[in-house]
Amino acid sequence: MTLKECKKEEKADKEFQKKFKFKGSIKVLTQMMVDPAVTEKKGGGKNLPLRRGEILDVIQFTSQEQVLCRNSQRRYGYVPRAVLLHL
């Protein structure tokens, strides 16, 4: 990983912590897959865009309905638990 990529990731992580009021270090709890049968959705606000079969890193289980996740493009957002499958 180059220095430029490292700085870009650090900046994205700081923006994430500010936007979601997340304290502490960012740790991946587990990985989950978006249900291949679900319709793809555009993200908006604090919601993460969903693609069928995509593998997401789970950062925090926020409530019974939502999970805070990170996708492969290092974008963060909430995802409904109903569309996630365990690997």
Q: Which amino acid is at 15?
A: E
**Taking the CB of residue 7, how many other CB atoms lie within 10 A of it?**
10
- φ, ψ of residue 36 to 5 degrees: the values are -65, -20
| The model's pTM | 0.84
Quote the CA–CA distance of 8 and 79 in Å, as a whole number: 24
On average, the pLDDT of the chain sits at 89
Quote the percentage of the chain above a pLDDT of 90. Answer: 45
What's the confidence (pLDDT) of residue 77? Answer: 92
- Domains, the chain, ranges and CATH? 5-86 (2.30.30.40)
pLDDT tens track for 16-48: 888 888 888 889 999 999 999 888 888 788 899
